[in-house]
């Protein structure tokens, strides 16, 4: 996984991937940069995002329900009630890190686990509709049992089970 220059940028981009297409995510990121980034080119700082109203974010970035979560997240970092450096602490357990990320408004299991993968933590799956669809294509079975099937199949990889799943589901990208 490639990292952005800041964990704030990684987190915002992960927030923007929830419940939408990749094209929609890219559009939200581009509009946020245009609105609040330095010279409309660099990814904005938490401080510059925190200054914007939820309505402005919703209308200009067109990020819908994510606007309030984005503003709250940026304000907590800018305040500094939230220190994202703690998310990169290797001594912190993955379970504790996941709980801390999920505690932030807008970050559900998918976003938390996807962000953890970017941070080098691979013990969760970050399951979304695309991953589940890829898995069912490869391994036939009832859709309702997909998550349990994934957990069983990749359990042998221990702390790297999420990475093993990701590498297998994106195998065609590597050829």
Query: Where are the domain boundaries for CATH 1.10.340.30 in the chain?
Result: 7-118
Is the separation of the CB atoms in 114 and 120 below 8 Å?
no
The per-residue pLDDT for range 43-73, each reduced to its tens digit, is 999 999 999 999 999 999 999 999 999 999 9
Exposure letters 81-99 (e unless 16+ CB within 10 A, then b): ebebeebeeeeeebeebbe
Tell me what pLDDT residue 141 has. 84
pTM over 0.75: yes
Mapping DSSP to helix (H, G, I), strand (E, B) and coil, where does residue 90 land?
coil
**Mean pLDDT of the residues in the chain:** 94
The per-residue pLDDT for range 20-35, each reduced to its tens digit, is 999 999 999 999 999 9
Q: What's the CATH code, domain 7-118? A: 1.10.340.30
**Residue located via tokens 């009832």:** 142
Per-residue pLDDT band at 153 (split at 50, 70, 90) = very high
**Residue located via tokens 């799943």:** 165
What are the angstrom distances between the C-alpha of 100 and each of 109, 113, 116?
11, 11, 11
């Amino acid at each position: 996984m490639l990292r952005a220059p800041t964990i704030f940028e990684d987190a915002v981009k992960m927030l923007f991937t929830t419940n939408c297409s990749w094209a929609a995510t890219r559009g939200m990121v581009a509009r946020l940069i245009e609105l609040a980034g330095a010279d409309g080119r660099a990814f904005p700082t938490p401080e510059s995002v925190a200054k914007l109203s939820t309505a402005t974010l919703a209308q200009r970035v067109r990020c819908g329900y994510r606007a309030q979560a984005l503003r709250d997240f940026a304000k907590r970092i800018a305040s500094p009630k939230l220190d994202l450096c703690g998310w990169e602490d290797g001594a912190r357990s993955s379970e504790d890190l996941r709980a801390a990320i999920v505690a932030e408004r807008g970050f559900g299991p998918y976003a938390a686990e996807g962000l953890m993968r970017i941070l080098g933590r691979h013990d969760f799956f970050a399951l979304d509709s695309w991953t589940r669809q890829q898995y069912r294509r490869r391994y036939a079975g009832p859709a309702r049992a997909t998550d349990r099937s994934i957990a069983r199949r990749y359990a042998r990889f221990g702390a790297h089970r999420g990475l093993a799943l990701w590498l297998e589901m994106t195998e065609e990208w590597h050829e």
